[in-house]
A and B are shown apart, each in its own frame.
Chain A
């Protein structure tokens, strides 16, 4: 039984048999998952696997065609304001207002959660943008912009953090800076995280539970060591070549970065 199912009877996120289609494309096909407090979970899959659609349904941005999603035991309908206050999100490729400074952008988002300027200063410290706090968003680098997006996701001290490909397109250094912030968060809080990525290394570094997804379906899930040993009881790869990429390739015939 996966670790996610053993830790508690009250998951912070529960997805039950969720389906979502766009015209003839089945983006998500019957996904089930349970995520518990403090758990860092990676949704690992190539582009077009359905990761973003699944995460956006959990975020309440998209509605499932069928199935149920519970956040802290509550569904989005009728509870949006309450749920928005306990989750933090970072969308894939979000732009902010170019002509606002880093600090002004954080102050704006802080006001949505009834937070004041002190929390803004704390976040600037956490994301390491003190020197850039007075720079316009248009004038900061891609890595700094991603750190700002992460800062906005963290501003309300969320119980659940949903990050959609937070390091895509960043150089290795900028990627590592984001990882450091998230690892520090893991050490200091009991927040749960769902992170979508197609970087195997990112999933390995940050997450204690990995879900491999492709064509809208969960192919395998478990801890890193579980995935490297087997897949649903079937030996799928030789011990000498075991990496997540190998697991994915063995299951789908494709590589993660395709």
Chain B
């Protein structure tokens, strides 16, 4: 009676959890379709070479009838190098300047004439990044130097106005766009998405699921039988991990077919770090759901875990842009370890040897949280 493993019980629990999962249409959408849509949207947004269009505000002179200033550097430049456009269809701009570059794509600047107040308003709203003004025969550029996009606009405009004859392509430099595998944004994104999906799927699927079962007294009813608690949790984790493998496999297949994203490292290493990520978040999920029977509190607890990591762990963009002092902390977060690990297999060609340490740390994190969570777990 006290067998270590009760096979039929374990099988029936796995079947029940699995059926419960696949019979919910929203699980199919959020688990399978949404990650693919997200990778499609972001992949297209960051992989198509389209024209970059930026608006620039030009400060109108206070007294246009002032004959002492008949010549305007900006107007004169745009009359020669720019094109007249219909303001009604071009965000109120009357002139545009196209900086052609076949290698890295064109940049189009739309020039909107405004007084200072309106120009500042446009800047605050993010409609323009740079305000241009003329004073004493010179062009003054106003922009936030911490805004990288505004800074790039300034550099391009400044270069164009200073050296109108040479053009962007006509210089002594050479640009060679990188085509090496693993250097595109989509190559960076797919491993991040796989990691985030894994975390979300486990935290919401397991943690929230258990809190809801507790609030509906289902856990209480189940443990008032000879059911082994360990079997219940093992079945839950098994089904969730199996689903995660399927979800991620589909995402990888999609990324391969649509964006030609390939796994450059070892498939075994990928499976190992992926499994370790499941163990880590499985343990965290059990810990988070160990006490509360209130789904509102559960929502808050789960968000408190997943939101900071989603922002910090480099899912969509590199965490190296965060302040230097915070990087060592960010690198130790479970999602960072997982995303970095998966990314290293995908784009750096990592194998088992490189992945063994992060996998061991993730597994240990899972084991610690699982043990503490199980000790304090409230079944009733």
Q: Are A61 and B220 in contact (CB under 8 A)?
A: yes
A237 part of interface (Cβ distance < 8 Å): no
CB contact list, B1-54 vs A, under 8 A = 1-2, 6, 8-9, 11-13, 15-16, 19-20, 23-24
A47 part of interface (Cβ distance < 8 Å): no
Q: Which residues of A contact B222 (CB under 8 A)?
A: 112
CB contact list, A52-66 vs B, under 8 A = 59-62
Select B380's contact among A62, A82, A111, A156, beta carbons within 8 Å: A62
A-B contact count (CB 8 A): 72
Q: Which residues of A contact B23 (CB under 8 A)?
A: 99, 136
Instruction: Choose the segment among B68-76, B223-231, B346-354 that binds chain A (4+ C-beta atoms closer than 8 Å).
Output: B223-231
Q: Which residues of A contact B218 (CB under 8 A)?
A: 94-97
Q: Are A114 and B8 in contact (CB under 8 A)?
A: yes
CA distance A110 to B19 in the complex (A): 17
* Chain B interface category by residue count: 20 to 34
Select A99's contact among B6, B8, B20, B225, beta carbons within 8 Å: B20
B320 part of interface (Cβ distance < 8 Å): no
Instruction: Choose the segment among A22-30, A101-109, A187-195, A223-231 that binds chain B (4+ C-beta atoms closer than 8 Å).
Output: A101-109
Q: Which residues of B contact A136 (CB under 8 A)?
A: 23
Q: Are A97 and B16 in contact (CB under 8 A)?
A: yes
Q: Are A81 and B224 in contact (CB under 8 A)?
A: no
CA distance A249 to B299 in the complex (A): 45
A100 part of interface (Cβ distance < 8 Å): yes
CA distance A85 to B20 in the complex (A): 26
Q: Are B6 and A93 in contact (CB under 8 A)?
A: no
Q: Shortest Cβ distance from A235 into chain B, in angstroms?
A: 42
Q: Are A99 and B24 in contact (CB under 8 A)?
A: yes
Q: Are B221 and A91 in contact (CB under 8 A)?
A: yes
B216 part of interface (Cβ distance < 8 Å): yes
CA distance A109 to B218 in the complex (A): 12
Q: Which residues of B contact A97 (CB under 8 A)?
A: 16, 20, 218
CB contact list, A28-75 vs B, under 8 A = 59-62
Give per-residue flags for A108-123: 1 if the beta carbon is below 8 A from chain B beta carbons, else 0.
Answer: 1111111000000000
Select A61's contact among B9, B11, B216, B224, beta carbons within 8 Å: B224
A124 part of interface (Cβ distance < 8 Å): no
A132 part of interface (Cβ distance < 8 Å): no
CA distance A111 to B15 in the complex (A): 12
* Chain A interface category by residue count: 20 to 34
Q: Which residues of A contact B20 (CB under 8 A)?
A: 97-100
Q: Are B16 and A104 in contact (CB under 8 A)?
A: yes
Closest to A83 in B: B226
B91 part of interface (Cβ distance < 8 Å): no
A242 part of interface (Cβ distance < 8 Å): no
Q: Which residues of B contact A62 (CB under 8 A)?
A: 380
Q: Which residues of A contact B332 (CB under 8 A)?
A: none
A12 part of interface (Cβ distance < 8 Å): no
Select B19's contact among A60, A95, A99, beta carbons within 8 Å: A99
A84 part of interface (Cβ distance < 8 Å): yes
Q: Are A111 and B9 in contact (CB under 8 A)?
A: yes
Q: Are A89 and B19 in contact (CB under 8 A)?
A: no
CA distance A110 to B227 in the complex (A): 10
CA distance A62 to B224 in the complex (A): 11
Q: Are B224 and A85 in contact (CB under 8 A)?
A: no
Q: Which residues of A contact B181 (CB under 8 A)?
A: none
Q: Shortest Cβ distance from A105 into chain B, in angstroms?
A: 8
Q: Which residues of A contact B380 (CB under 8 A)?
A: 61-62
Q: Are B217 and A109 in contact (CB under 8 A)?
A: no
CA distance A82 to B225 in the complex (A): 10
Q: Which residues of A contact B216 (CB under 8 A)?
A: 94-95
Closest to B3 in A: A114
Interface centre among A95, A96, A107, A111, by most B CB within 10 Å? A111
CA distance A96 to B218 in the complex (A): 6
Q: Given known contacts A62-B380, A84-B226, A99-B19, is B221 in contact with A94 (CB within 8 Å)?
A: yes
Q: Shortest Cβ distance from B208 into chain A, in angstroms?
A: 15
Q: Given known contacts A61-B380, A91-B221, A93-B217, is B16 in contact with A112 (CB within 8 Å)?
A: no
Select A108's contact among B2, B6, B13, B220, beta carbons within 8 Å: B13
CB contact list, B231-287 vs A, under 8 A = none
Q: Are A81 and B19 in contact (CB under 8 A)?
A: no
CA distance A42 to B1 in the complex (A): 33
Q: Shortest Cβ distance from B373 into chain A, in angstroms?
A: 21
CA distance A108 to B6 in the complex (A): 13
Interface centre among B1, B13, B220, B226, by most A CB within 10 Å? B226
Q: Are A112 and B225 in contact (CB under 8 A)?
A: yes
Other than the given A59-B224, A85-B1, A112-B9, 19 more pairs (CB < 8 A) read: A61-B220, A61-B380, A81-B2, A84-B225, A85-B226, A89-B221, A91-B220, A94-B220, A95-B217, A96-B218, A100-B16, A100-B19, A104-B15, A108-B16, A111-B9, A112-B225, A114-B8, A114-B9, A136-B23
**5 closest residue pairs by CB, A with B:** A111-B12, A99-B23, A95-B216, A112-B225, A112-B227
**A interface residues, Cβ below 8 angstroms from B:** 59-62, 81-82, 84-85, 89, 91, 93-100, 104, 107-114, 136, 152, 156
Could you show 5 A-B contacts with beta carbons less than 8 Å apart?
A: A91-B217, A91-B220, A94-B221, A111-B9, A112-B225
